[in-house]
Amino acid sequence: MLKIQNLKKSFVNPEGKSETVIDIEKMSLEACSQTAMFGPSGCGKSTLINLISGLLNPDSGTMEFQASDITNLDEAKRDSFRAAHLGIVFQSFYLLEGYTALENVEMAMLLNEKLIDGRARELLVSLGLEDRVHYYPSQLSVGQQQRVAVARALANKPLLLLADEPTASLDADFAKQAIDLISKKCKEQEVALLLVSHDQTVLSQFENQLSLPELNQAYKRKS
Amino acid sequence: MRAIAKIIGKSLKHYRFSTSITVLSLGLAVGLFFSVFAIRDQADRAFTGSGSGFDAVMGARGSQVQLVLNAIFHLETSPGNIPWSLYEAVAEEDGVQLAIPYALGDNYYNYRVIGTIEELFEEDQEIGYPGLKLATGKLFNSDRMEAVVGSFAASQLGLKPGDTIKPYHGLSFDPNTQHEEEYLITGILSPTNSPLDRIILIPIEGVFRMGGHVLRGAGVEFDASKSADIPDKHKEVSAVLLKLSSPTTGFRLHQMINRQGKVATLAWPVGKVMGELFEKMGWMHKVLTLIAYLVLLVASASILASIYNTIEQRRRDIAILRALGARRMTIFWALLGECSLIATAGAGVGFLVYGFILQVTAIVLQSQTGVVLYLLQWNPIFLWGTVITIGMGIIAGILPAQEAYDTDVVSQLRS
């Protein structure tokens, strides 16, 4: 489903020098697969997520999604691609504060121009938030916020869900439950999952594991 | 489109306090803007239009503006009197349809008491005063001490047919100058929405005979109050209102009275004379217009300030929306849409403010001059003023919208 080849991304550091952060020769994800990607802070996990999601443009290399080259899409097309095919769960969930749980989920659908009546509520109910649909993020517990974030990420029936350290704000017990939930929902919805974490407990829940420090030549060279 | 509408709605709700303040300040500016133009236009029309029903005013030698203000709008003091014979002569001129003499000099609680003749109430609208008719009661009898009261004066003074009044000497109320003569109110005029609503009309003989009044029509003082009969040569009038059959008559009278004569002045045409007055005050209109535009500009800038100040707070939400798939232009249009909605709401509030200002102005103007301003009278400023306001709102939104457009999603979500 996702194929990456010779992907490179550099940034200009505060000293004004170009620094390569991502240099991946090859990486692929299968449809409906569940993969955990691990690595310490600074190894380029978030940058890779941003590259796949189209929030960042690579300097070189190719990314194919469902056999289509997404590397050179213009920004508007990348936005549309992200809205239609990807779901993202951020480390801090990043819920829209002025929107209720239901509105957070519906907004993702509105931005994809495919608002399906009842789907947002259905997703929230399936995540155990039936009595919280009209609550604002500030009125929800951390665990509930995360479930809203998962519902929002799945709202448009994406092909791939990217989860960037989704358990960083949770304690160990909740973290396991959260991963179980994300994993279960992805299986139910037939969505591939790429979960990024540095937490070994989380990683142990996945059979497919990718070591970013091994994949990322730029990090290898640096260390 | 629905996403943009949702983002705008949420943003307006989230920043409702600052939005309300901005809408209110813009509304005050727009209301002021509308008022400056619409009130000026209505006042211009009321003072320079043909609302007085007369084409010309003849009075003592002097300023034409003073003559019109005094005889038509009952505002200025009289420039003096002219002999009765002049009135008779002009009334006989070809092309003069109607000549109504006015004799001023008294008031009743600041409402002018004017001596005139019954022909003012000619029922034929082509000849008489347009729209002038009695609401209740009947016309005064020229041989009796009777009076007819304008609608506004009657309502303010609480006068009705059957009541009596004793006028006060002079055009300004002074409790120590009350005349002995008592007049019976016989009728109340229907509202004309003109200065006539503010006057009290009595037979012209009544003014001649009022105690303390002295006639100087023949060049010598003549006390009419002690005489049974008043020879025409002693009579004098403050002004003569003229209805003319054509502009040619006006031009001829103008030549005869203003150019060749030395005793009287003809203010003709009435609208042009008042128009010249308004032209002289044109600089004031220009200053007011400039101020109105500046106020609107400053208020529009308040939209910019209001939205721009919240951009930093908005960046997080903008980044999230972008991460969810919102295009840059979606964010840009949402900000512009929000600004245009604020401007539209400001224009809406502006209409309310305008209504309030107009009502207050109308009350003051009617009590001072009798001229009525109409709240629902259409003025093109309402259309293009609204368009300008919304346009300025959109322009004011471009800078914050551009800031939102440029939001760096990755760095926002990292922070």
- Residues B263-313 have pLDDT tens digits of 899 998 988 888 888 888 788 888 988 998 999 899 888 888 888 888 888
Using CA of residue B118, residue B122, residue B126, residue B129, what is the dihedral sign?
positive
Residues B134 and B232 grouped into a single domain: yes
- pLDDT tens digits for range A118-169: 889 999 998 889 999 999 999 999 889 989 999 999 999 999 999 988 877 7
- B276 domain-assigned: no
Segment B368-381 mean pLDDT: 84
Q: CA B208, CA B225: separation in Å to the nearest integer? A: 7
Treating both helix axes as pointing N-terminal to C-terminal, what angle do B16-48 and B282-309 enclose, rounded to 10 degrees? 170
Residues B260 and B312 grouped into a single domain: no
Residue A174's pLDDT band, with cuts at 50, 70 and 90, is confident
Q: Where are the beta strands (DSSP E) in chain A?
A: 2-12, 18-29, 34-38, 60-65, 68-69, 86-89, 160-164, 192-197, 208-211
Chain B CB contacts of A84 below 8 Å:
325
Closest CA to B64 of B331, B274, B321, B334: B274
**Cβ atoms within 10 A of the Cβ of A198, count?**
16
Segment A167-175 mean pLDDT: 75
- B274 domain-assigned: no
Closest CA to A145 of A175, A101, A91, A107: A101
- B81 domain-assigned: yes
Q: Average pLDDT, whole number, for chain A?
A: 88
- pLDDT tens digits for range A51-109: 999 989 999 999 999 888 988 888 899 999 999 999 999 888 899 999 999 999 999 99
Closest CA to B268 of B253, B280, B283, B287: B253
Segment B234-245 mean pLDDT: 92
Chain A CB contacts of B319 below 8 Å:
94
A83 and B414 within 8 Å at the Cβ level: the answer is no
* pLDDT of amino acid B49: 62
Q: What is the rounded radius of gyration, in angstroms, for the C-alpha atoms of chain B? A: 31
Residues B232 and B184 grouped into a single domain: yes
Chain A CB contacts of B10 below 8 Å:
96, 98-99, 103
Residues B264 and B346 grouped into a single domain: no
A94 and B413 within 8 Å at the Cβ level: the answer is yes
* pLDDT of amino acid B238: 93
Segment B88-113 mean pLDDT: 92
Residue B232's pLDDT band, with cuts at 50, 70 and 90, is confident
Q: Is the pLDDT of residue A220 over 80?
A: no
> Which 3 state secondary structure label does DSSP give A52?
helix
Residues B131 and B106 grouped into a single domain: yes
Q: Which of B14, B17, B19, B320 is the mutation pick for testing A, counting most A CBs within 10 A?
A: B320
**Angle at alpha carbon of residue B52, lines to B47 and B54, rounded to 5°:** 125
Residues B65 and B40 grouped into a single domain: no
Closest B-chain CA to A112 = B325
Structural domain of B238 = 56-268
Q: Given A90, A107, A152, which is nearest B413 (Cβ)?
A: A90
CB-based contact B377:B29 (threshold 8 Å): no
* pLDDT of amino acid B168: 95
- CB of B317 less than 8 A from some CB of A: yes
Q: CA B335, CA B215: separation in Å to the nearest integer? A: 76
Chain A CB contacts of B9 below 8 Å:
none
* Number of folded domains that form chain B: 2
A84 and B2 within 8 Å at the Cβ level: the answer is no
Query: Of A119-133, A190-204, B236-250, where does mean pLDDT reach its minimum?
Result: A190-204
* pLDDT of amino acid A206: 85
> Which 3 state secondary structure label does DSSP give B209?
helix
* pLDDT of amino acid A202: 80
Highest mean pLDDT out of A10-14, A157-161, A176-180, B128-132: A157-161
Distance of CA B142 to the CA centre of its chain: 33
Torsion angle (degrees, nearest 10) of CA B354, B356, B359, B365? -70
In this structure, which amino acid lies at residue A114?
K
Residues B161 and B84 grouped into a single domain: yes
Q: CA A105, CA A82: separation in Å to the nearest integer? A: 15
Q: Is the pLDDT of residue B352 over 90?
A: yes
CB-based contact B145:B166 (threshold 8 Å): no
- pLDDT tens digits for range A22-53: 999 999 898 889 999 988 888 888 889 999 99
- pLDDT tens digits for range B4-45: 999 999 999 989 999 999 999 999 999 999 999 898 888 887
- B345 domain-assigned: yes
Residues B308 and B364 grouped into a single domain: yes
Residues B34 and B134 grouped into a single domain: no
- The DSSP string of B364-401 is HHHHHH-----TT---HHHHHHHHHHHHHHHHHHHHHH
Q: Is the pLDDT of residue B255 over 60?
A: yes
- CB of A20 less than 8 A from some CB of B: no
Query: Of A159-168, A188-197, B125-134, B380-389, where does mean pLDDT reach its minimum?
Result: B125-134
Closest CA to A161 of A36, A27, A67, A6: A36
Interfacial B residues in 328-367 facing A (CB < 8 Å): 328-330
Residues B69 and B15 grouped into a single domain: no
Highest mean pLDDT out of A2-16, B21-35, B229-243, B371-385: B21-35
B327 and A98 within 8 Å at the Cβ level: the answer is no
Residues B221 and B77 grouped into a single domain: yes
Q: CA A136, CA A144: separation in Å to the nearest integer? A: 11
Residue B126's pLDDT band, with cuts at 50, 70 and 90, is low
* pLDDT of amino acid B197: 87
B323 and A80 within 8 Å at the Cβ level: the answer is no
- pLDDT tens digits for range B50-99: 556 788 999 999 899 999 889 888 887 888 899 999 999 999 999 998 89
> Which 3 state secondary structure label does DSSP give A12?
strand
Torsion angle (degrees, nearest 10) of CA B177, B181, B183, B189? -40
Domain boundary (B268, B291, B308) is at B268
Chain B CB contacts of A99 below 8 Å:
10
Domains belonging to chain A, first-starting first, are: 32-57+73-210 (3.40.50.300)
> Which 3 state secondary structure label does DSSP give A65?
strand
* pLDDT of amino acid B4: 94
Residues B217 and B339 grouped into a single domain: no
Q: Average pLDDT, whole number, for chain B?
A: 88
How far B1 CA lies from chain A's nearest CA (Å)? Answer: 9
